[in-house]
Amino acid sequence: MNLIIDIGNSRAKAVVMDGDALVKEYVAEAFNASLFAEIMEAYPTIERAIIASTRGDELSAKEVAETRLSRVVIFKPATTPIPLENHYYTPETLGADRLAAAIGAQALHPNADIMIVDFGTAITIDFVEGGAFKGGNISPGVTTRFRALADYTACLPRCYATEEVLDYGRTTKEAIEQGVMRGIEQEIRGYIESFMQKNGEKCVIFTGGDAKYFVKRIKNTIFADCEPVIFGLNRILNYNAERI
């Protein structure tokens, strides 16, 4: 069994994997000794772990995991061997979650060109084409956009994501809600339209905490219940274990 530790901007996720099957998911503010002890008590047959972090705290997580596990991999896009060709010019600046998602998506859809949209603190739009990670773009996420309007204006209120779809806002609150949500919708539609013009089998994957708001707005997408980041990290861990 594998332990996948994905530490994001706002939360840490620890996932127990048995082969390619997700067994149990833990979510906390941080990955620490008490959480690790809880996981190992429930799943003592875990043999190895992989850690990916956007916070820069992967070394402390590694120290915790190494108290019980002999094989712990820190995923670094610039140095960790991966089962996917990487065309990014500066892999040392590439987010581990972005590359892991690309690897997971490519494993799930090996014969397709893939566009992965991750709706998190930032929205990342990445592309796997011709069996290689080509790169992608980053823009502010849903919460980030709402917060920016509230923080950088004198009178606009703080608003939040909504599932309501209106042609136009009839109050300032509705105007902000629809402006942010529909702005992101149109942004992603533009990417999809451009992507779909290319030849070959195509697949568009939505993932991340805010993906649920846009799956309903934008059809012909795949909502990744088993997140491609987790699946990709699991594949990277197995790939490195096989190289020993």
Instruction: Compute the distance between CA of residue 158 and CA of residue 203 in angstroms, rounded to an integer.
Output: 35
- Opening angle at CA 74, ends 24 and 104, nearest 5: 55
Which helix H or strand E contains 223, and what residues bound it? Answer: strand 222-223
pLDDT of 186 strictly over 80: yes
pLDDT of 190 strictly over 90: yes
Superfamily for 1-74?
ATPase, nucleotide binding domain (3.30.420.40)
pLDDT value at residue 52: 95
- Opening angle at CA 144, ends 226 and 128, nearest 5: 40
When pLDDT is cut at 50, 70 and 90, the band that residue 11 belongs to is: confident
Quick one: 63 exposed, middle or buried, by C-beta within 10 A (0-12, 13-18, 19+)?
exposed
pLDDT value at residue 242: 82
What are the tens digits of pLDDT across the range 106-116? 999 999 999 99
Which amino acids are annotated catalytic? 97
What are the tens digits of pLDDT across the range 128-166? 999 999 999 999 999 999 999 999 999 999 999 999 999
Q: Would you say 20 and 231 are in contact if contact means Cβ atoms under 8 Å apart?
A: yes
Which one is predicted more confidently, 242 or 104?
A: 104
The answer to whether 1-74 and 77-244 have equal CATH topology is: yes
pLDDT value at residue 57: 82
Q: Is the pTM of this model over 0.75?
A: yes
Residue 39 region by backbone torsions, left for phi larger than 0, else alpha for psi between -120 and 50, else beta: alpha
What are the tens digits of pLDDT across the range 48-70? 999 999 887 899 999 999 999 98
What are the tens digits of pLDDT across the range 196-217? 998 678 999 999 889 999 988 8
123-156 burial code (b ≥16 CB/10 A, e <16): bbbbbbbeeebbbbeeeebbbebbeeeeeeeeeb
Residue partners of 150: CB distance under 8 A and separation at least 6: 156, 157, 158, 159
pLDDT value at residue 44: 96
Instruction: Compute the distance between CA of residue 105 and CA of residue 238 in angstroms, rounded to an integer.
Output: 16
pLDDT of 226 strictly over 70: no
Which helix H or strand E contains 24, and what residues bound it? Answer: strand 21-28
Report how far apart, in Å, the C-alpha atoms of 81 and of each of 54, 78, 239 are.
19, 9, 8
Which helix H or strand E contains 241, and what residues bound it? Answer: helix 228-242
CATH match for 77-244 among 1.10.10.10, 3.30.420.40, 3.30.70.360, 3.40.640.10: 3.30.420.40
Q: Would you say 156 and 122 are in contact if contact means Cβ atoms under 8 Å apart?
A: no
pLDDT of 221 strictly over 80: no
Q: Where are the domains of the chain?
A: 1-74, 77-244
